[in-house]
Structure 1
Amino acid sequence: MTHPYLDAPGGVAALAHRGFSRDGLENTLAAFQAAVDLGYRYVETDAHGTADGVAVALHDASLDRTTDRTGRVAHLPWSQVRQARVGGVEPVPTLEDLLGTWPDLRVNVDVKERSGVAPVAAAIERTRSHDRVCVASFSVTRRDATVARLSRPVATSAGTTEALAFFRAGRSGRVPVRAVRDVDVFQVPWRWRGRQVLTARHVDTAHRAGRLVHVWTVNDEADMTTLLDLGVDGLITDRADVLRDVLRARGTWR
C-alpha cells in the first residue's frame, strides 16, 4: 500500500462511479464536477480509444445508449465523437480533460477495449498523473499492456481472473500469491447472482497480502454500512451523496 493513490483520506476511498449524476449524464465533466462539489477526491471512469487514438471517458463501446449519436468509438475519429452529446446535453470528454481539469483528483480508469490501451497510457503520460491514477480492466492483458507503456508506476486493480482467484482463496483464508503479484487493490462485487460472495475472511486475506478491497457498485445505505463493517477499504457508488452521509456519520469522511 505504498502507491500515493491508495492513501485514502480518512482510511476509506469513496469513489464516485462515472462521476455523480441523477439525470443520466454519466462520465461527463458536469458529473465529475458534481462529485468534486460534494467533496469527493476519487472518481471512477471508463475509457475507450477513438480510431485516431484519443482516449475518451465513456462506458459503452458505442455512442448509442448515452448520446445523441451512434457508432462504435473505436471506428470513429475524435472529430466525430466530440460532436456527440451525452443525454443530448453534455459533450463526451477526453480522459485528458478529466485528468487535466482537476489536477488533485484521483481517477480510477477502467480500460474497456484494446483500442483504449495506448490512448489511455498517452493521456496519463501527458498529464503526468501517475501518482493519482489506478488502472483497471476486466482484462489482465489490457491492464498490463497499458501499464507497460507508462514511464512511472500507477496503482493497479485486479482483472477478472485475478478476482476469481481471490474469491476462491478467500474461502480458505490462503493468500492467492499469483493473483496479488501485479495488483494493488481488488475491486470486486460483493454480491453475485443475488447472493453475498464477499466475506470478512476475503477482506482479511487481502489485507494479509498487503492489498486493499474496493467494492462496486454500492448504492444502498444499509449495504454501505454492512461493507464498511466488514472492513473494506473503498466503495464505488452511483449515490455519492448517500455514501458521503454514511461516511460522515461514521467520522471517516475527509
Structure 2
Amino acid sequence: MRHPYLSPAAPRVLAHRGLVTADAASHGVVENSFAAVAEAHAAGAAYVESDCHVSADGTVVLFHDDDLRRVAGDPRQIADVRLHELEELMADRGGLITLAQALEAFPELRFNLDVKAAAAADGVGRLVAPHAERVLVTSFSDDRRLEALAAARAAGAAQRPATSPGQATVVRLLAARALRRAGRVGALLDGLDALQVPERQGPLRIVTRGLVRDAHAHGVEVHVWTVNADDDMERLLDLGIDGLVTDRADAALRKVNTRGTPAV
C-alpha cells in the first residue's frame, strides 16, 4: 500500500534544504533556514528536503553540515553550540528553524528528513511520530535511519514514516541488479517507499531505466538528487523518475507543470 507521504501521484519536486532565491541570498538568507523553508512553501513546493543535527542542549535543528563554518563562518560543531547561540547566529541569515518548529509552522508541507547525526536519530523519531503521514526519514546510515523509525513507533506513531535506504543498502541493491538476482532485489526494496539516489556516483551510473523499472515493480519511487539543470530535469523525467530533489524548486515546479502533469 502506498504511503500517504507519496500521495497524490508523482512527479514530485523536493525543495533541497528549502529554497534560496538569488534575491533572498542577496539579503543573507541561507539554506535550511526558516526563511528558506517559507520560500519553498510560497513557491508552491509540497515537499522540503532537510537535514537533522542536534544542538548541545538536545534540540533537533535543521542543518546540513556538522559545523557552522560554511553557513556562518564559525568553526564550532553544531553539537557543541546551545540553541540560543544558534538562534543568534542565524538571526540575520533567515532564522534558525528547529524540527519541531518546521513541523508545527508548516502543517501543509511534507518533510524529507536526512538524519545526519547519530545523536539526532531518537529525537527525530519522537518529533515526527505525530506527523508520520507527511514525513520521510532517510540517512546515509541505515542504523540511524532504523533507529529514528523505531523511535517514532515507540513514541506512538499511528504508522511508520515513509523511508528511503542508506548508502549500504543502495550498494547492495546495485550489486544484486548487476548479478541479476531478482529475488535479492525484491528483498532489498521491501519495506522501502522511495529510493533516493544521485544520478551518478563518480564514473558509476546509478539511475537507469532498468533501476526505475525494478523499483516501480516493487512499489518504490525513485527520487534523484541534486538536479538543478533544466536539461537534466527533462531527461530524468523522461526516464520515468518520480521526484526531483533540487535547489531550484521554483524552476523545477514550472518545468514539471509545463509537461502537463502538475507537480506535487
Q: Does the alignment reach a TM-score above 0.5?
A: yes
Residue of 181, 205, 222 corresponding to 1:196: 205
- RMSD between aligned residues: 1.8
Q: Secondary structure at the match of 2:188?
A: helix
> Which runs of no fewer than 5 residues in structure 1 stay unpaired?
none
Alignment match, 1:49: 54
Alignment match, 1:26: 31
- TM-score normalised per structure 1: 0.92
How many residues align? The count is 250
1:1-254 aligned at under 5 Å gives the runs 1-8=1-8, 10-22=9-21, 23=25, 25-85=30-90, 88-125=92-129, 128-150=130-152, 151-152=156-157, 153-171=160-178, 172=180, 174=182, 176-193=185-202, 196-254=205-263
What is the CA-CA distance between 1:159 and the residue it aligns to? Answer: 0.5
What is the CA-CA distance between 1:119 and the residue it aligns to? Answer: 2.0
**Corresponding letter in the other structure for 2:176:** A
Q: Secondary structure at the match of 1:84?
A: helix
Deviations 1:202-224 (A, max 9, x none): 00011112211110000011111
What is the CA-CA distance between 1:90 and the residue it aligns to? Answer: 2.2
**Corresponding letter in the other structure for 1:82:** E
What is the CA-CA distance between 1:194 and the residue it aligns to? Answer: 5.1
Deviations 1:109-143 (A, max 9, x none): 00001111122123223xx2111000010000000
Q: Aligned partners of 1:243, 1:38: CA distance in 2, in Å?
A: 10
Q: Aligned partners of 1:197, 1:156: CA distance in 2, in Å?
A: 19
- TM-score normalised per structure 2: 0.88
**Corresponding letter in the other structure for 1:119:** G
Larger helix fraction of residues: 2
What is the CA-CA distance between 1:92 and the residue it aligns to? Answer: 2.0
What is the CA-CA distance between 1:169 and the residue it aligns to? Answer: 3.1
**Corresponding letter in the other structure for 1:206:** A
